[in-house]
């Protein structure tokens, strides 16, 4: 009997169970729903607490049209469910989830379909920003969608080109969600990133159309934004704080209690769709803690 192999096997089993328990804890914290029905229940709870839910069905980088078609049908069901339950919830989609990894034309057709459906059902629609590879295509298609649908596009502040992109979107009267960027593709130095973020926040608050500023728990950014709005006499209902489900609840509640508009990003999905999202959250938590 080879005890080395036996002990190695036991260690692998133990560490596998620990890893699975760790993933279960992460999923429970960050991903509160697995399907449309449970997402509606979470959305109702958030609304009762004074927050606006932004529901995203997990999934990305789909290269097969059949998978894209299935995702689009799920979003249609979600839009209809939000309307049927008389919720003020929004939806958020990823470009590669609804066709951009197949072609821009396919993506445009699917996004236009969802934007039209959401507009008719009075459910606001937002578009995430993914990796740099898809940035140009995402913005090109966004600008082809009729402005009257009032959809909102995420833009990452940690890129040099973002000042130009935000300026163009503002000039066209389009809605913007400003995010830092979760894909580690910044072409700015660490010192430049804070300056870029604050410049874009100022520009959006002064000239943007109901901008949304997304943050996890950046207290410096929140402090800067709240002071800037007060000094420039910008009304609280003219912009939005967006934060993630499962992180910084105390900050969300404090902003809500100060009568700011606070929206909570709610991811929905099963295990095999959750891992990329969970990995990004783990990396962000590491940055916060260390």
Task: Please write the tens of the pLDDT for every residue from 24-47.
Answer: 556 666 788 889 999 999 999 999
- For residue 278, the model assigns a pLDDT of 59
Residue owning tokens 């002071």: 227
- Burial of 262 (C-beta count, 10 Å sphere; 0-12/13-18/19+): buried
Provide the token pair at 99.
């066709």
Mean pLDDT of 214-237: 90
If one compares 246 and 5, the residue with the highest pLDDT of the two is: 246
Q: Is 153 helix (H, G, I), strand (E, B) or coil?
A: strand
Distance CA 274, CA 59 (A): 8
- H/E stretch holding 190: helix 190-207
* This prediction's pTM: 0.86
Summarised one tens digit per residue, pLDDT across range 179-216 is: 987 655 778 888 888 889 999 999 999 999 999 999 88
pLDDT band at 49 (very low <50, low <70, confident <90, very high): very high
pLDDT band at 17 (very low <50, low <70, confident <90, very high): low
What's the number of CA atoms in the CB half-sphere (13 Å) around residue 117?
20
Of 151-165, 177-191, 261-275, which has the strongest mean pLDDT? 151-165
Provide the token pair at 254.
């404090």
Mean pLDDT of the chain: 88
What percentage of the chain carries pLDDT values higher than 70? 82
* Beta bridge mates, 266: 55
- For residue 180, the model assigns a pLDDT of 87
Summarised one tens digit per residue, pLDDT across range 87-119 is: 999 999 999 999 999 999 999 999 999 999 999
Distance CA 188, CA 179 (A): 15
Nearest partner of 287 among 214, 185, 184, 201, judged by Cα: 184
- For residue 7, the model assigns a pLDDT of 60
Distance CA 242, CA 177 (A): 9
Q: Is 188 helix (H, G, I), strand (E, B) or coil?
A: coil
Residue owning tokens 């609804």: 98
End-to-end alpha carbon distance in the chain:
45
């Amino acid at each position: 009997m080879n005890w080395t192999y036996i002990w190695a096997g036991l260690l692998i089993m133990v560490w596998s169970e620990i890893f699975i328990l760790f993933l279960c804890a992460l999923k429970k914290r960050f991903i509160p729903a697995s399907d449309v029905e449970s997402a509606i229940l979470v959305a109702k709870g958030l609304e009762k607490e004074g927050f606006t839910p932004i529901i995203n069905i997990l999934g990305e980088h789909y290269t097969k049209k059949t998978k894209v078609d299935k995702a689009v049908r799920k979003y249609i069901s979600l839009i209809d469910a939000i309307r049927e339950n008389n919720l003020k919830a929004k939806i958020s989609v990823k470009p590669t989830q609804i066709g951009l990894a197949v072609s821009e034309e396919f993506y445009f057709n699917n996004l236009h379909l969802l934007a039209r459906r959401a507009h008719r059902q009075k459910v606001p629609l937002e578009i995430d920003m993914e990796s740099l590879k898809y940035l140009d295509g995402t913005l090109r298609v966004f600008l082809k969608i009729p402005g009257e649908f009032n959809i909102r596009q995420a833009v990452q502040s940690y890129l040099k080109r973002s000042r130009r992109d935000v300026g163009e979107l503002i000039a066209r009267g389009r809605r913007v969600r400003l995010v830092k960027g979760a894909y580690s593709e910044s072409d700015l130095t660490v010192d430049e990133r804070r300056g870029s973020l604050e410049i874009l926040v100022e520009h959006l608050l002064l000239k943007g159309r109901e901008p949304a500023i997304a943050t996890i728990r950046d207290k410096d950014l929140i402090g800067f934004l709240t002071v800037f709005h007060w000094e420039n006499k910008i009304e609280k209902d003219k912009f939005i704080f967006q934060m993630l489900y499962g992180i910084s609840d105390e900050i969300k509640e404090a902003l809500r209690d100060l009568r700011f508009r606070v929206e909570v990003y709610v991811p929905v999905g099963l295990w095999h769709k959750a891992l990329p999202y969970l990995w990004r959250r783990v990396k962000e938590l590491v940055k916060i803690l260390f």
